[in-house]
Amino acid sequence: MQGHIAAFVGQVTLLQRKFSYCSPSFVAQKDVKFALKLASEAIVSQVTCLAESSRGKNMKENCSICLEDTDVSQMFSVNDCLHRYCSSCLKKHVEVKLLQGMLPKCPHDGCKTELKIESCKNFLTSELYDLMSQRIKEYSIPATQKIYCPYPKCSALMSKAEALVNTNNAGASMCERCRGLFCMSCKAPWHSNISCNDYKILNPYPCAEDAKLKSLARRNLWRQCVKCHHMVELAEGCNHIYCRLKKLLNFPSLPSPTPLHTPLHLPPLHHTLHFT
């Protein structure tokens, strides 16, 4: 906590040097968000005024990522934290994080401010915008409540609540995207007049994509959590790890030189692989 306070005070001091006059004042905790919003709007308006008053003069601002002097009209101000970067660097940052299955945050070291999709709309392609919308939905639904459409050409994500709303009297749920019917109990295509167990017996072989994934998992010694159904890869460290739902996963002993335990029993590094 003291380190965060010191860093914050340091940032405030640096900001004060950029103003000809600055008078700090205390703000009640309930008014902090309003104060940040007001400060953000004030800074943006000042930058806009400078750009307009220059009348053709090139007003430049340095981007701390690419270290290039960029036209102020091409600079992006992150909501809440007010860190500024050029749109080109921010677009690349957002794209990388989305492709890694993560929600993009401010690239400033130690900053945890999440980027808002509406503020990023101006520099995102339609594909990246749709992907960011998908990531936001993925993170908003708890792992135990996620349901994916079982039809390979769709694989749309929905929550159990959404699926239940679209469930008919016969018990079949309907995907909102492809309108295909599926069984909520076994997450398979709808099978009327037959139990889930009988359906699995009649359809013992998974689709080609699932078979490839299972084969890849066996070769790489991945483990699938029986609770959240995510694939987990052990990179190094102890061979007993927990998935995001605190379910214990046991891995076989890895070949040398990977140690069985890391010094001081540090948490193992692992990758969670999402799949639909």
- Residues designated catalytic: 238
The DSSP secondary structure of 156-170, one letter per residue, reads -EEEHHHHHHTB-TT
Nearest of 225, 221, 276, 226 to residue 254 by alpha carbon: 221
Helix (H, G, I), strand (E, B) or coil at 270: strand
Segment (H or E) for 112:
none
Tell me how far apart the alpha carbons of residues 187 and 194 are, in angstroms, rounded to a whole number: 14
What angle is formed at CA 60 by the lines to CA 45 and CA 19, rounded to 5 degrees?
55
Residue owning tokens 């965060």:
4
Cα–Cα distances in angstroms (integers) from residue 153 to residues 88, 156, 178, 199, 276, in the given order: 33, 9, 9, 21, 11
Q: How many helices (H) and strands (E) does the chain have?
A: 8, 13
| Helix/strand/coil (H/E/C) assignment for every residue in 65-93 | CCCCEEEHHHEEECCCCCCEEEHHHHHHH
Nearest-10 crossing angle of helices 87-99, 126-140? 50
Distance CA 249, CA 28 (A): 46
Q: Among candidates 129, 169, 170, 177, which has minimal Cα distance to 151?
A: 177
